[in-house]
Structure 1
Amino acid sequence: MQSSETAAAVPPIVEATRWIAVACLLGLIAVELAWHLWLPARPSLWAVKALPLCVPLAGLLKRQMYTYRWTSLLVWPYFMDGAVRAAEGLMPALEIALSLILFVACALHVRIRLRNAKP
């Protein structure tokens, strides 16, 4: 926890956005791995797309504001990949949905924490 949050109680909405972001990030990792390793007839090397998603996980769990900011930018290539492949079925739809929810959760988390910060 950051020192500013240890003194004061964390608002429930901040915790909610944090856990939504973490859940969507883990879901997006699972979708990428399942889509490219287990669901096709032949596994592909495109599964390495899940590796960049593993990087922000520790920062999100530690409530690092900077990580929430750049994760909201990291997610857009995954959204675009899902949008391009949207006709392929369920996995691109999940990729799109998880990407959008992750973006919104990160943006709300940052906005609420900045609003609640003491000047």
Structure 2
Amino acid sequence: MRKLLAKPAHSLSAETWQWLAVAGLLGLIANSMAWALWWSPHGPYPAWMTIKTLPLLLPLRGLLHGRRRTAQWASFLPFPYLLGSILTVYGFLVPPYFTVTADFAGGVLQGVLSLLLMTGCMYYAYSTAGMRKD
């Protein structure tokens, strides 16, 4: 099973996996901020609703500098955001409908960015195993 999951790690370089993780992280930050402040169909939420983006700022510096240990820990970070996107999409698809189309689009985008961050971090950490970056 490990060999099967490790196959995509060698299809891209470690730097590409790193930048995919950074793109997922920055996109998730932008999506969380924009969803709370502008995209919400019920009017913009108060500014304090963007507090959910604060945990996303923690691994930013480490991922930008290519620290393997940060990537290992940051791969666990998108799980609550992925769960939130699944619940939002489910709320749109199953009656009674609890969300609207704008929430559905934001939920799908949040899910895609969460998966991008998770896979980028995991495969960056896997592809840099054994390398020493000083």
TM-score, normalised by the number of residues in structure 2:
0.74
Matched residue type, 1:117: M
- Percent of pairs identical after alignment? 34
Question: Which residue pairs with 1:5 in the alignment?
Answer: none
Question: Which residue pairs with 1:55 in the alignment?
Answer: 58
The structure with more helix, counted as a fraction of residues: 1
Partner Cα distance (2:50, 2:68) in 1: 28
C-alpha root-mean-square deviation of aligned residues, in Å? 1.5
Point out 4+ residue stretches in structure 1 off by more than 3 angstroms.
none
Verify: 1:42 aligned to 2:56, yes or no: no
TM-fit CA distance, 1:47: 1.2
Paired positions, count: 106
Q: Please show how residues 31-110 of structure 1 align to structure 2 within 5 Å.
A: 31-40=31-40, 41-44=43-46, 45-86=48-89, 87=92, 88-110=103-125
Partner Cα distance (2:112, 2:118) in 1: 10
Q: Secondary structure at the match of 1:73?
A: coil
TM-fit CA distance, 1:92: 0.4
Verify: 1:113 aligned to 2:128, yes or no: yes
Higher relative contact order at CA 8 Å, sep ≥6: structure 1 or structure 2? 2
Matched residue type, 1:14: A
What are the ranges of 5 or more consecutive residues in structure 1 without an aligned counterpart?
Answer: 1-11
Matched residue type, 2:28: L
What are the ranges of 5 or more consecutive residues in structure 2 without an aligned counterpart?
Answer: 1-11, 93-102
Question: Which residue pairs with 2:96 in the alignment?
Answer: none
